[in-house]
């Protein structure tokens, strides 16, 4: 860690006064730069967090204005139980996210095996198209699927949203699971086969336990992406399905004091739920590895 | 005892089937291939077709007569004059939206890169305990609903937003810059995609051999030299990938400009939405605008992927 301390190159003997002066001023600049780096990094964390903390703070405030501050209350939290449409939109979002993430996971795991284990024509094209749903801007994927669904006779609905999100979730599963399979030691499978296990048993007892965390991470990614999606669902969900994001968006565009109070509470609950889920997940597995793709050596 | 027997034969058939290469290939490749063809390739092909068709103005049915009018109208339809400071120029709504989207996305990308790089560097140098805490603080906003984060800036900006409230309390009147508009959108997008940039940069800095840097320092290189000559070249794939992850969704952003622009800033995402389901519905125009954006992104990605491999970008 010599870089951080800056002056690890202490001379063995300090004969020249001039040399010492130069070294100390150099050291001071180095430490200033080093501290500046850490201060800047801390400032960036504040940038990430400040708006979220203000939401949490305001969710306990009597009025949704920070200033003049009118005191704390838990009334906002009691208020949301009677909010029309909130419960059904949470249920809708949960159902859509769960169903589409299941489909995305099954498809993603199968195609990860295909990509890592077999050679076949158009393999690179297949892989690229497997990743495109994640890259295409949401507006365009939503508009394209809307026109297409209407033409082939699928009306904007719950079903159409599940189909859309299952496509959107596929790349996340594909990337995470295939990264794991690339590093999987196939000699383990060969050993099992040599000892007489059939392919199904080998998969159940050897392969699956090894890649299970990656499958779980892929599922969670696909689930979260579906749950937080607004723009794709906007085009394909129709008037009968109202996911949470659309319910919230409606409140944001009609920003009365009451609506802001409700939104602050719902947002705070979402941040809280994610904070807990993330803490559990990080305690359980190598979340950073899956997010940043930085190898599996930490598992 | 018929049931177990049938199970056994089913299992035997499965095992036999899976042992054959052709079957296992079909089982693994097939389902996603069907999904991709039906839900990605077909819709995009359909959209391409519609972009070369026209819409009957009475029945709203698609008229299948090949035409390039939709594209022509995007760049040569009704123009109006816009002024940018002393400059006055004529442009169509589409041209203006594209320019604005690309400009805003570029600024947001540069800000993300400049803001995220120091934090990613610090993250790669932290010891395990601090790393866990800081990465938690970074990942939480990353996983927090996009809409919640856009909404959080909706509270900060605006005539009576938190920023202006605070400024008002210290006696500086409401500042126009903190009203909804381009600045708010840039801040919102930077905040929204900052974690993508950060995590991509971190992934590539984490693989960096820091002994190289220490060696360079021992040999007398300054910090600036080291960043310029070692860190940036070695993390270039991460930088390019991170920029891509910020730039592409920023160009097509909808929620952020809608909430933080309050109708004053028409980025391309909003324009397409309005043509698709909003005030000026026209499936052909919406398709043509979408295809134009897709093509521009594909060109950008093609240029980028000459320098980085998709596998290096991790699971973001």
Render pLDDT for B87-97 as a digit per residue (tens, 0 to 9).
777 778 888 88
Nearest CA in chain A to B62: A151
Query: Is A294 an 8 Å CB contact of chain B?
Result: yes
Q: What stretches of chain B adopt beta strand conformation (E)?
A: 54-55, 62-63, 79-84, 87-92
Higher local confidence (pLDDT), B85 or A189: A189
Specify the CATH superfamily of domain B91-314. MetI-like (1.10.3720.10)
Nearest CA in chain B to A128: B310
Interface A-B, measured as beta-carbon pairs within 8 A, has a size of 288
The pLDDT of B250-270, averaged and rounded, is 87
Domain definitions of chain B by residue range? 4-51, 91-314
Q: What is the pLDDT of residue A22?
A: 65
The pLDDT of B220-239, averaged and rounded, is 78
CA B270, B274, B278, B282: dihedral to nearest 10 degrees? -160
Please report which confidence band the pLDDT of residue B316 belongs to, taking 50, 70 and 90 as the band edges: very low
Domain definitions of chain A by residue range? 1-46, 84-294
What are the DSSP calls for A31-87, one per residue?
Answer: HHHHHHHHHHHHHHHHHHHHHHHHHHHHHTBSSS-SSS---B-SHHHHHGGG-TTHH
Q: What is the pLDDT of residue B75?
A: 76
Query: Is A213 an 8 Å CB contact of chain B?
Result: no
Query: Could you report the per-residue pLDDT of A157-175, keeping only the tens digit for each?
Result: 889 999 999 999 999 888 8
Candidates B10, B62, B152: best to mutate against A (most CBs of A within 10 A) is: B152
The pLDDT of A181-195, averaged and rounded, is 82
**Tell me, what's the ipTM?**
0.82
Contact A228 B40 (CB under 8 A): no
* Distances in whole angstroms, Cα of residue A265 to Cα of each of A81, A83, A233, A256, A274: 11, 12, 23, 14, 14
The pLDDT of A217-243, averaged and rounded, is 88
The pLDDT of A115-124, averaged and rounded, is 81
Asked if pLDDT for residue A6 goes beyond 90, the answer is: no
Asked if pLDDT for residue B10 goes beyond 80, the answer is: no
Asked if pLDDT for residue A11 goes beyond 60, the answer is: no
Query: Is A265 an 8 Å CB contact of chain B?
Result: no
Which token pair is A84? 């029309």
Query: Could you report the per-residue pLDDT of B186-208, keeping only the tens digit for each?
Result: 999 999 999 888 888 888 887 77
| Closest partner CB to B273 (pick from A30, A136, A139) | A139
The pLDDT of A110-135, averaged and rounded, is 84
For residue B123, give the 3-state DSSP assignment: helix
Query: Is A231 an 8 Å CB contact of chain B?
Result: yes
Contact A267 B151 (CB under 8 A): yes
Is CATH 3.40.640.10 what the domain over A84-294 is classified as, yes or no? no
Asked if pLDDT for residue A154 goes beyond 80, the answer is: yes
Contact B191, A48 (CB under 8 A): yes
The pLDDT of B296-302, averaged and rounded, is 79
Q: What is the pLDDT of residue B191?
A: 93
What is the pLDDT of chain B when averaged over all its residues?
81
Asked if pLDDT for residue A94 goes beyond 70, the answer is: yes
The pLDDT of A69-96, averaged and rounded, is 83
Asked if pLDDT for residue B294 goes beyond 80, the answer is: yes
The pLDDT of A137-161, averaged and rounded, is 88
| Closest partner CB to A137 (pick from B39, B132, B252) | B252
Nearest CA of chain A to the CA of B84: how many Å? 28
Higher local confidence (pLDDT), B120 or A290: B120
């Amino acid at each position: 860690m010599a870089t951080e301390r800056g002056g690890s190159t202490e001379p063995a003997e300090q004969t020249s006064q001039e040399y010492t002066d130069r070294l100390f001023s150099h050291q001071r600049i180095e430490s200033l730069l080093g501290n500046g780096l850490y201060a800047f990094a801390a400032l960036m964390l504040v940038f990430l967090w400040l708006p979220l903390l203000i939401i949490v703070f305001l969710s306990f405030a009597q009025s949704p204005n920070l200033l003049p501050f009118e005191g704390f209350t838990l009334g906002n939290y009691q208020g949301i139980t009677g909010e029309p449409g909130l419960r059904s939109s949470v249920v809708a979002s949960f159902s859509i996210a769960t169903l589409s993430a299941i489909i995305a996971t099954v498809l993603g795991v199968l195609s990860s095996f295909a990509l890592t284990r077999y050679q076949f024509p158009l393999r690179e094209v297949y892989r690229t198209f497997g990743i495109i749903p994640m890259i295409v801007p949401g507006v365009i994927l939503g508009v394209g699927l809307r026109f297409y669904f209407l033409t082939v006779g699928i009306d904007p609905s719950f079903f159409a949203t599940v189909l859309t999100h299952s496509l959107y979730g596929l790349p996340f599963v594909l990337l995470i699971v295939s990264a794991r399979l690339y590093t999987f030691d196939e000699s383990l499978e060969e050993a099992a086969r040599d000892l007489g296990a059939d392919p199904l048993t080998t998969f159940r007892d050897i392969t699956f336990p090894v890649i299970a965390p990656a499958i779980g991470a892929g599922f969670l990614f696909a689930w979260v992406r579906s749950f937080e999606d607004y723009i794709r669902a906007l085009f394909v969900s129709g008037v009968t399905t109202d996911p949470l994001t659309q319910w919230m968006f409606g409140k944001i565009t009609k920003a009365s004091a009451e609506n802001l109070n409700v939104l602050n509470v719902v947002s705070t609950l979402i941040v809280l739920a994610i904070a807990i889920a993330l803490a559990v997940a990080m305690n359980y597995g190598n979340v950073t590895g899956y997010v940043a793709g930085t190898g599996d050596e930490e598992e | 005892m018929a049931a177990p027997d049938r199970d056994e034969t089913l299992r035997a058939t499965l095992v036999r089937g899976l042992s054959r290469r052709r079957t296992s290939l079909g089982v693994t490749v097939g389902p996603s291939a069907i999904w991709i063809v039906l839900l990605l390739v077909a819709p995009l092909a359909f959209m391409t077709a519609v972009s070369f068709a026209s819409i009957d103005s009475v029945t709203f049915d698609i008229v299948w007569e090949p035409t390039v009018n939709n594209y022509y109208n995007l760049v040569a339809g009704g123009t109006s004059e816009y002024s940018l400071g002393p400059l006055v120029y004529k442009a169509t709504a589409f041209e203006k939206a594209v320019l604005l989207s690309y400009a805003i996305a570029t600024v947001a990308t540069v800000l993300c890169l400049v803001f995220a790089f120091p934090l990613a560097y610090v993250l790669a140098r932290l010891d395990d305990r601090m790393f866990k805490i800081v990465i938690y603080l970074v990942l939480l906003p990353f996983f927090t609903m996009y809409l919640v984060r856009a909404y959080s800036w909706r509270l900060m900006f605006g005539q009576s937003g938190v920023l202006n409230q605070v400024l008002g309390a210290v006696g500086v009147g409401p500042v126009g810059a903190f009203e909804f508009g381009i600045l708010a959108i840039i801040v919102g997008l930077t905040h929204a995609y900052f974690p993508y940039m950060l995590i991509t940069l971190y992934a590539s800095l984490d693989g960096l051999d820091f002994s190289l840097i220490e060696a360079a320092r021992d040999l007398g290189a300054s910090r600036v030299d080291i960043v310029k000559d070692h860190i940036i070249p070695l993390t270039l794939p991460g930088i390019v990938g991170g920029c891509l992850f910020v730039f592409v969704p920023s160009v097509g952003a909808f929620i952020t400009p809608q909430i933080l622009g309050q109708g004053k800033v028409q980025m391309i995402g909003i324009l397409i939405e309005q043509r698709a389901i909003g005030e000026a519905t026209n499936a052909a125009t919406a398709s043509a605008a979408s295809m134009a954006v897709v093509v521009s992104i594909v060109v950008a990605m093609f240029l980028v992927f000459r320098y980085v491999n998709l596998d290096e970008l991790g699971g973001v």
